Homo-oligomer: A and B are copies of this chain.
Amino acid sequence: IAANDGGRVCELAGDLHESDVGDLIENLEPDDRPKLIELLGKEFDFAALTEVDETVRVRLLEELPSATIVEGVRELDSDDAVYILEDLDEAERARILDQLPAPDRVALTRSLDFPEESAGRRMQTAFVATPPFWTVGHVIDHIADTPGLPETFYEVFVIDPAFKLLGSVKLDRLLRTRRSTLMRDILEELPRTVRATDDQEQAARLFERYNLVSAAVVDDADRLVGVLMVDDILDVIEEEADEDLRALGGVTGDEEISDTVLYTARSRIPWLLVNLCTAFFSASVIGLFEGTIEHMVALAVLMPIVASMGGNAGTQTMTVAVRALATRDLGGHNARRLVRREALVGLANGVTLALLVGLTAGTWFENPELGVIIGTAMVVNLVCAGLFGILIPLTLDKLKADPAVASGVFLTTVTDTVGFFAFLGLAAWWFNLH
């Protein structure tokens, strides 16, 4: 298709939704991507670029002529435009901003001045606002008669002459109210506005909590500067959940499915190196008991069981704790109770597992004392796993570090070390082997 038949391409791809065009772009060979966009010409909606992976987008933007980008960005809602511009390097971004009409340029520059991942970056700068003394009829007529209103909006904001936000009226409310009513009388006050400098995750929690579809964004002087839309928030929620999940799985950074082997390998190795150090540390704990193992090889066979069960139980606790911290369900008010709960859960499951492991191991090696020792080590390790599984994320959170990223390494270090030490140490002492 991309063999230069513009008309045919337009016909096939022109009517697709931006998300579908995004998919189409991702599935093309890299060289065909800019061609597709040029062939589509005016038919190409730059919003499709917000739907593709970052790696694909950055490369594509590098290959497109500036003029095409300028043209495309002009057509976009400000939040989508910011999304695309933030990936460009400084110089290229400045060049494109210079070619935009002044009002667009000012709005975009202001958004880009907010920190990354802030509400200010995600907001749309165009919104519908009226003074409080307008009537509902006046507002309805105004909306009908004014071209150039934002593409989508769900509420009309009411502001005073200084742009200070007084409240908002949802469109369904507007339609259900008699035309003579004043906006002042039907506005809902918004105790929960988003500040432009707020983190996008904070804004997302607000949407979830109060079931919003859009939210006013105000600056430090409480002046209305933009509006956040729920569709952007949906992406934020998905992104943040994804980040936690990847972090727990040891995948940091922004790896994407379209990355190359080399890029992926490089982005995953730091985590493996950190784990290598802790693995050597646990190995050195085993090294302390070389003499013991030499006398009783069964210990070497059984010791990974103690360590890995501790790791599994600890990971359960840690997963719950990390997620509860992210959704603010876990905090100062219930931390003490939950730490106690996790220790007791560890104890309860530790005893159950100890009985099973003790019996099996004792029978396997025809040595009941060995069964008692592995059982005891199991209880010790599971209680530690429960305690550290919640204390580590709590501490990291208190230190303002992301608990999802680093908890895992610390936790397995603890469960491996405690597991090996408790089991081998007890055995050395009981059987008097050195």
The answer to whether B143 and A176 touch across the interface, beta carbons within 8 angstroms, is yes
Question: Once the chains are docked, how many angstroms separate the CA of A312 from the CA of B413?
Answer: 13
Q: How far is the CB of A307 from chain B (nearest CB, A)?
A: 7
Q: Please name the residue on chain B nearest to A259 by beta carbon.
A: B341
Query: Please, which residues of chain B bring their CB within 8 A of the CB of A293?
Result: 293, 297, 300
Chain B CB within 8 A of A323 CB: yes
Within 8 A of B (CB), among A289-340: 290, 293-294, 297-298, 300-305, 307-309, 312-313, 315-316, 318-320, 323-324, 327, 329-330, 333-334, 338
Q: Identify which of B276, B305, B327 contacts A280 (C-beta below 8 A).
A: B305
Chain B CB within 8 A of A213 CB: yes
Contact with B along A205-221 (1 / 0, CB 8 A): 00111111100000000
Chain B CB within 8 A of A352 CB: yes
The answer to whether B245 and A319 touch across the interface, beta carbons within 8 angstroms, is yes
Chain B CB within 8 A of A416 CB: yes
Chain B CB within 8 A of A367 CB: no
Query: Please, which residues of chain B bring their CB within 8 A of the CB of A345?
Result: 261, 264-265, 268
Chain B CB within 8 A of A282 CB: yes
Interface centre among A210, A305, A334 (most CB of B within 10 A): A305
Segment at the interface with B among A63-71, A91-99, A193-201, A234-242: A234-242
The answer to whether A312 and B272 touch across the interface, beta carbons within 8 angstroms, is yes
Query: Please, which residues of chain B bring their CB within 8 A of the CB of A210?
Result: 17, 19
Question: Once the chains are docked, how many angstroms separate the CA of A283 from the CA of B237?
Answer: 42
Q: Identify which of B290, B315, B324 contacts A250 (C-beta below 8 A).
A: B315
The answer to whether B245 and A313 touch across the interface, beta carbons within 8 angstroms, is no
Within 8 A of B (CB), among A256-289: 257, 260-262, 264-265, 268-269, 271-273, 275-276, 279-280, 282-283, 286-287
Chain B CB within 8 A of A113 CB: no
Query: Please, which residues of chain B bring their CB within 8 A of the CB of A318?
Result: 249
Segment at the interface with B among A37-45, A353-361, A425-433: A353-361
Segment at the interface with B among A3-11, A147-155, A157-165: A147-155
Question: Once the chains are docked, how many angstroms separate the CA of A241 from the CA of B327?
Answer: 12
Q: Please name the residue on chain B nearest to A179 by beta carbon.
A: B144
Copies of this chain per assembly: 2
Chain B CB within 8 A of A55 CB: no
Chain B CB within 8 A of A248 CB: yes
Chain B CB within 8 A of A246 CB: yes
Q: Please name the residue on chain B nearest to A234 by beta carbon.
A: B208
Segment at the interface with B among A28-36, A167-175, A394-402: A167-175
Interface centre among A242, A244, A282 (most CB of B within 10 A): A242
Question: Once the chains are docked, how many angstroms separate the CA of A432 from the CA of B248?
Answer: 41
Chain B CB within 8 A of A230 CB: yes
Q: Please name the residue on chain B nearest to A268 by beta carbon.
A: B316
The answer to whether A323 and B231 touch across the interface, beta carbons within 8 angstroms, is no
Known pairs A262-B348, A304-B283; A211 contacts B231 (CB<8 A): yes
Q: How far is the CB of A123 from chain B (nearest CB, A)?
A: 15
Chain B CB within 8 A of A255 CB: yes
Q: Identify which of B175, B272, B297 contacts A143 (C-beta below 8 A).
A: B175
The answer to whether A257 and B348 touch across the interface, beta carbons within 8 angstroms, is no
Question: Once the chains are docked, how many angstroms separate the CA of A333 from the CA of B209?
Answer: 38
Chain B CB within 8 A of A349 CB: yes
List 17 contacting pairs A-B, 8 Å CB cutoff, sorted by A: A17-B210, A144-B176, A207-B234, A245-B245, A250-B312, A251-B316, A251-B319, A257-B330, A275-B308, A282-B304, A283-B302, A283-B304, A287-B301, A290-B298, A297-B300, A300-B300, A303-B304
Which A residues are closer than 8 A to B by beta carbons?
Answer: 17, 19, 27, 140, 143-144, 149, 152-154, 170-172, 174-178, 207-213, 230-231, 233-235, 237-238, 241-242, 244-246, 248-251, 255, 257, 260-262, 264-265, 268-269, 271-273, 275-276, 279-280, 282-283, 286-287, 290, 293-294, 297-298, 300-305, 307-309, 312-313, 315-316, 318-320, 323-324, 327, 329-330, 333-334, 338, 341, 344-345, 348-349, 352-353, 356-357, 360, 412, 416
Given A144-B175, A152-B170, A290-B300, 5 other A-B residues pairs in contact with their CB atoms under 8 A: A152-B172, A237-B237, A257-B329, A269-B349, A271-B312
